[in-house]
Every structure is written in C-alpha cells, then in structure tokens.
Amino acid sequence: MTKLACPNFIGGEWKTPAGVATTPVYNPSTGEVIAETPLCTAEHVNEAVEAAAAAYPAWWETPPVERARVLFRFKMLLEDSFEELIRLNTREHGKTLAESRGDVKRGMEMVEFACGIPSLLMGESLENVARGIDCDTIRQPLGVCVGITPFNFPAMVPLWMYPTALACGNTFVLKPSEKVPLTAIKVVQLLEKAGLPKGVLNIVHGGRDCVDALLTHPKVKAISFVGSTPIARHVFEVGTKHGKRVQSNGGAKNYVFIMPDADVENSARGVIEAAFGCAGERCMAGSTAVVIGGADKTVLPTLFEATRAISVGPTDRENQPGMGPVITNQHRQRVEELIAIGAKEGAKVVVDGRGVKNSDSPNGFFVGATILDEVRSGMTVAREEIFGPVLNVMRFDDLDAAIETANRSPYGNGASIFTRSGKAAREFKHRIKAGMVGINIGVPASMPWFPFNGWDESFFGDLHMQGKEGVQFFTQQKVTTTRWFSYGEGDIWHK
C-alpha cells in the first residue's frame, strides 16, 4: 500500500524534507504503517519560524473582521470535508467514527468561537480617571506563537490553539504529534483553501529535537503545549526560561464519585463513557470510580456487567465496535503491564481485557475494557496515568474520606459526582481539588467558551486554553492614558 504524504508546510509551500530520519504512523486498527513522519531538525524549525515572522506584520495589520472572515470560510470547508476528516482521524488514531465525529466537532466549535474575535478583542475605557484625562485598554497580538500537540485528539487539540491565535493577529507554527500528523495536515489544507495568506500558519513535524528548537528560538513569543505531565513541565520550564509566555496542559487522573443515592443506569453509563470512551486515551478519562457507601451493591454489578459487554475491534470499517484499539503496540504492552502490576499489588481484576484478539484484524493494538477493583491509594495503578481502557474502583464509607483521598492526587484536571442529593453535590463542588467539575456528567470537559481548566500537575502556566483566557494568552494589553490641552495652553505645535 502506498503511504500517505507527510509534508511540512512552510511559507505556503508543502514540502517533504529530504534526508531526515522518520518515525512510522500506524493504523492502530490493523497495525499497518500508513505514513512516515519526518523528524525535523532545528534548521527546519528556523525556516518555519522565519516564515511566520515574515508574515506577521501584514497579518497583524489585517482588520480583525477580515481575519474572522477567513475563519468563517474555514468553518464552512471543515463542514464540507467532515466525513473525510473523521475517517482520516479514525484511521491514524484508532478511535471509533462516533468518537472522531466528536473530536472534529469540538475543533470546529473552537473555530466558531474564534470567528467572534472583533467582539472578543474589545478593550475597556474610563472617562475622567482624573479631571480631563481618559484611559483605555486595547489588546494586541504577540507575534510568532507555537502549538505542540499530543496524539489523542488529532483534530481538536491543534484547533484549541491556532484559530484563536490567528484571529488575535499572531502568526503560528504547529508541531503536531508525530504519531498522528495526517489529520492536522488535512485541516490546515482547508485553512489554506479558505484564503489564509502564506506563512501565517506553518507546520513542522518532529519529536524532541524539533520541540527543543521551538522552545528556544529567539523569535518565538508564546508556546501552547498539550501532552503528558513530564513533557508539559519541561516545556513550561524551558520556554519560560527563554522568555516565552507558556500555557502547558499535562496529564491527569480523574475521579468519578458514585453516591449511594445515584441513579443506577445513568451513573453506570456515565462511568463507562468516562472510563472507556476513546479507549481511555483522554486527559479527562474518568479512570477511577469512587464508590461510596451502599453504591457498591447498587451500581457496581451493573457497571461490571456493562463493561464485560463492550466489544473491542477495528474502527476503520463500517461495522463499528464499542471501543477501538490503543495508539501503538508498545502502548498496548504498557497498559497490559500496568494491569499486571495492579494485580500484583493487591487489586482484583474483575474484568480482564488483556490478550484480546480480533480475528478480522489480528495485528490491531487491542486491549479490552478492564476493571481493577479494591484499588488503594499508593498502588502504582492509583498513581500513574494509565491512558488505556482500565477503570480503577476505590471504595469508601463516606464522602469525606473519599474527597480527602482524591484531593491527595498531584493532578487536578476533572472530577465528577453522580448523586440525587444537592447537598452532596454542593459539598463536592466546593471541596474537590480539580479545575473542571461534573455533576451527573461523567466527562466534564469544558466547551470552547469556557477555559479548559486544569489545576496542579495537569496545567503549568497562568492562562488556560479556550474562552476569554485563550484570547488573553494570545494578546498583550496596552493601557493608554490621554489628556488633550486647549489651544494655546501648552500645545507645542501652535507656539
């Protein structure tokens, strides 16, 4: 099978760099290599940043409403190519077509958000801050901004970044995940078709060397990063040390609380969706069910039964399974290894997804839905982000003890509660240490108009992606204080 092209996009030219090492892009459903991502060097990074720097003055001077018009056309083209995009997304990532639909749709909503830029950029003003003196604020772009993205949302995460950055008047260099570069390329081809001037958005592919060159390039002003916590911390530290503004989203370990009064069907469904949606490869995955009081007798039997019924298989065809493969064979092995470590440290494997085989696709990277019961804090599986279809179950006598344990987690992305009690929900919302809270919602990922609001080791920086904070991140504020003299009263031009 011919492999798909994976070119850089620099200064408006699509070019595959010659003579550089490459890394394979798989179809996780079949194990086939479908493309090779070039591992670009500092030289390619420099070309991309220089192209973005050269395009910046004219793009900054383009009125916000004209920048928004490019994004409106982009949105229409995304809609026209929706089916093609979701199939490509599924092909390189492995998530189901329904999950790819969500991935692309969420990305499109970010474009819709950025289309409102003329209103979003408006400043404030106050007359008579002192007698005859007025004051106002305006927001101006930063210059060349960079986006570095993970593998798990090939469409959505790049779109968290550049529509807002470009709408604000910045130019951009995107470094997509080397594991899933193809959807990012296709989406940017649509933006090019929408009329984005050359050099305003550039793509450079690669891994660590490429990232380090971006973090230290003197012409880069700001960096948006999404990925695992160790790399997020590295990006934040190196980027800020080199004088850049950085927002850096890391990994997570999210808790879904189930109170004894919770609706059985709805809470079991909510936990299943949170734990096994996208094969657990979500930073908002509800990877620990916190079962309180008698909920073990009501919800757990339904949860176990429904988990056993989840089918796993290839997603790149019409017949869709309940769950797709994980991203690579290496990751499949790691997830299975963590399940074994959990069992060794005392967890009970009540549903075991290890070693599943699919006769239609024997080389796919499949792990079945798995539940580890009686997990206790301190176990490896309670501490590490597994990033696979594995749900831990922890049992507590009361809400207090459960909140105390959950709040000891170093992460702080999301946490949810299923209950019929307003009092318990209010207590949970008030005390839980997480930046995004769900009440009878399993995956409380915030929508584009609100910040994607990780805390602690799930986020390094001050201003989050999405919403008004996203606009603030990609702009700098200017405050002007103004006084006008009357004729003859110190007006130097008339002396």
* DSSP-derived 3-state class of residue 35: strand
183 binds ligand NAD (CB under 6 A): no
178 binds ligand NAD (CB under 6 A): yes
Which of 148, 223, 258, 262 forms a contact with ligand NAD (CB under 6 A)? 148
Binding-residue total with ligand NAD (CB under 6 A): 29
Which of 452, 460, 473, 474 forms a contact with ligand NAD (CB under 6 A)? 452
Nearer to ligand NAD, 39 or 424 (CB): 39
C-alpha span between 459 and 235 (Å, rounded): 11
Spell out the residues 6+ positions from residue 61 whose beta carbon is closer than 8 angstroms to its own: none
Contact 445, 285 (CB under 8 A): no
DSSP 411-458: EESEEEEE-S-HHHHHHHHHH---SEEEES-S--PPPTTS-B--EETT
Minimal distance, residue 294 CB to ligand NAD, in Å? 32
C-alpha span between 492 and 485 (Å, rounded): 10
C-alpha span between 234 and 282 (Å, rounded): 21
* Backbone φ/ψ region at 144: left (φ over 0), alpha (ψ -120 to 50), beta: beta
- Which H or E run contains 144? strand 144-148
- Residue 123's DSSP bridge partners are none
249 binds ligand NAD (CB under 6 A): yes
Minimal distance, residue 245 CB to ligand NAD, in Å? 17
Contact 2, 33 (CB under 8 A): no
Binding segment for ligand NAD (CB under 6 A), chosen from 127-135, 223-231, 288-296, 414-422, is 223-231
Which of 27, 29, 413, 475 forms a contact with ligand NAD (CB under 6 A)? 413
Closest CA to 219 of 182, 163, 170, 177: 170
Nearer to ligand NAD, 99 or 178 (CB): 178
Angle at 448 between CA 433 and CA 164, to 5 degrees: 120
Q: Which residues are the active-site residues?
A: 283
387 binds ligand NAD (CB under 6 A): yes
402 binds ligand NAD (CB under 6 A): no
Which of 231, 306, 323, 425 forms a contact with ligand NAD (CB under 6 A)? 231
Nearer to ligand NAD, 413 or 475 (CB): 413
Nearer to ligand NAD, 214 or 399 (CB): 214
Nearer to ligand NAD, 162 or 387 (CB): 387
C-alpha span between 315 and 310 (Å, rounded): 14
Contact 215, 232 (CB under 8 A): no
Spell out the residues 6+ positions from residue 238 whose beta carbon is closer than 8 angstroms to its own: 212, 215, 216
Binding segment for ligand NAD (CB under 6 A), chosen from 112-120, 171-179, 216-224, 239-247, is 171-179
CA 380, 382, 383, 388 dihedral sign is positive
454 binds ligand NAD (CB under 6 A): yes
Which of 27, 298, 458, 466 forms a contact with ligand NAD (CB under 6 A)? 458
Which of 28, 94, 143, 150 forms a contact with ligand NAD (CB under 6 A)? 150
Integer CA distances (angstroms), 224 to 121, 147, 160, 276, 306, in order: 19, 5, 9, 27, 38
Binding segment for ligand NAD (CB under 6 A), chosen from 60-68, 147-155, 390-398, 435-443, is 147-155
329 binds ligand NAD (CB under 6 A): no
Which of 140, 228, 358, 407 forms a contact with ligand NAD (CB under 6 A)? 228
Which of 227, 388, 448, 470 forms a contact with ligand NAD (CB under 6 A)? 227
Q: Which residue stretches of 34-116 are H helix?
A: 42-61, 64-80, 82-93, 97-114
Which of 99, 373, 385, 457 forms a contact with ligand NAD (CB under 6 A)? 385
Which of 30, 96, 177, 416 forms a contact with ligand NAD (CB under 6 A)? 177
Binding segment for ligand NAD (CB under 6 A), chosen from 110-118, 374-382, 389-397, 452-460, is 452-460
Structure tokens at 139: 């927001």
What residue ranges bind ligand NAD (CB under 6 A)?
148-153, 157, 175, 177-178, 207-208, 211, 226-228, 231, 234, 249-252, 283, 385, 387, 413, 452, 454, 458
